[in-house]
Amino acid sequence: MAVTTQYSTEYNQAWVANTGNLETNVQRGRVRVAYFTATQDGAGDATSSVALCKLPAGKVRLLASQSKAYVNWTTSSATLDLGWDAYVSPDGTAVTADPNGIDDGLDVDTAGYQTFGNALTATGGTKLFESKNGVVIRATSQDEAIADGDDLVGFLLYVVD
């Protein structure tokens, strides 16, 4: 075995191959915050959901693993799915909704703080969206009801411009 020196794809593009500047969703972008607070108004059956925020149009990188929420869903065995509604790409192509594309079955049985992104491990807990009109991020209680007064309060960080 030998000692090697490797470069990330992005470092190679910007500094070794000099093939151009990186887009701001990759380097030098500004981190923005989308704060949300949701209190369940009346009981909701399984698959009830709440739209948390709408990310802006264009290329936006969601930093899911750096985003957090206090989840107080009081139904026993509660799990949270986090994903996005269907949206339109910049070229007009319809992109299918993925209700658990960010988190799939996040255990929220006990009230407390949660970090997102368990379904995004291959991308370092991030997700790049390219949309014409923005993307709605939605939390769903897939298997259990949501009780009246249950809380979901937190923030999503994303990079744009």
Domain residue limits, the chain: 32-160
User: Each residue of 121-160: pLDDT tens digit?
Assistant: 989 999 999 999 999 999 999 888 888 999 999 999 999 9
Contact 38, 72 (CB under 8 A): no
% of the chain at pLDDT higher than 90: 69
Distance between CA atoms of residues 87 and 90, nearest Å:
10
Distance between CA atoms of residues 48 and 146, nearest Å:
7
User: Each residue of 31-48: pLDDT tens digit?
Assistant: 999 999 999 999 999 899
How far does Cα 116 stand from its chain's mean position? Answer: 7
> What's the CATH class of domain 32-160?
mainly beta
User: Each residue of 87-120: pLDDT tens digit?
Assistant: 999 999 999 999 999 999 999 988 899 999 999 9
Torsion angle, alpha carbons of 107, 44, 117, 38, to 10: -110
Predicted confidence at residue 144, as pLDDT, reads: 87
